[in-house]
Amino acid sequence: MSRTTFSRSVWSRKTLFAVGVGALLTPTLLPLVNAGDVSRQVAEAPATPRYAAEAQPIERVSSDSMGGKLRNAYLTGVNLARKMLDGANMANGSLAMSDLSGASLKVASLRGADLTSANLEGASLVGAKVELAAASGANFRGADLRGASLRAASLFRANLQGAQLDDAILERADLRGADLRGCSLTGVSWAGARYDEKTRWPSTFDPKGRSLALRFTPTRPTARVAETPRPSAMRLPLVF
């Protein structure tokens, strides 16, 4: 083999080796070489979700991973049925029309949360904080609310049939139109709670003399109010 042929052969092998190594190292070294491209990619990256819980499927969320991550969270219409949410902090969050049936929410914080038309049937809220919550039309049928605080909560037309409310705090709560038939109400604190003629109580419970305030819900008049006749238009002389 001539020296020229040998040199070309060695050069070809070096070229192939360099190309192979470059292919392996290029993905690693490219961000270091093209710093401008990296800055542009970071700038164009999608924004981080407002709440960490939104970044993962709700089935994977547990009370341990939540901590305070669901505070102010928007969870309207989600399915949290039979989930273990003991101690979860969902204060000021939106859970309207969500399914929390059979969920465990012991000592959880739902203070100021929106629970409008939410389904909490059979849920355990022992010692939970539901103060100032908006729970109009919510379903608490058969729920365990022993020792829970519902101070100043709106339970307007809520279904509380068969719920356990022993030692619960319902001070200044709105119970107008609520259904409390079959509830256990031993030791409940009622100071300032409101109810009306549509509130339904257990057969053995008399709300009178229990620091409850009766408020009649106004109804819209069915008859139309006659319109006041308009005075006839006066013709005024035109002035040019």
More confident call, 228 vs 84? 84
Lowest mean per-residue pLDDT among 66-80, 103-117, 173-187: 66-80
Cα–Cα distance between 132 and 82 in angstroms, integer?
A: 24
**When comparing pLDDT for 50 and 73, which is higher?**
73
Query: Does the pLDDT of residue 54 top 50, yes or no?
Result: no
What pLDDT was estimated at residue 209? 78
Please tell me the CATH superfamily of domain 62-216, with its number: E3 ubiquitin-protein ligase SopA (2.160.20.80)
Q: Could you give the CA distance from residue 145 to residue 169 in angstroms, rounded to a whole number? A: 10
**d(Cα 29, Cα 90) in Å, to the nearest integer?**
45
- Given this model, what pLDDT does residue 174 score? 98
What is the reported pTM?
A: 0.64
pLDDT of 166 reads: 98
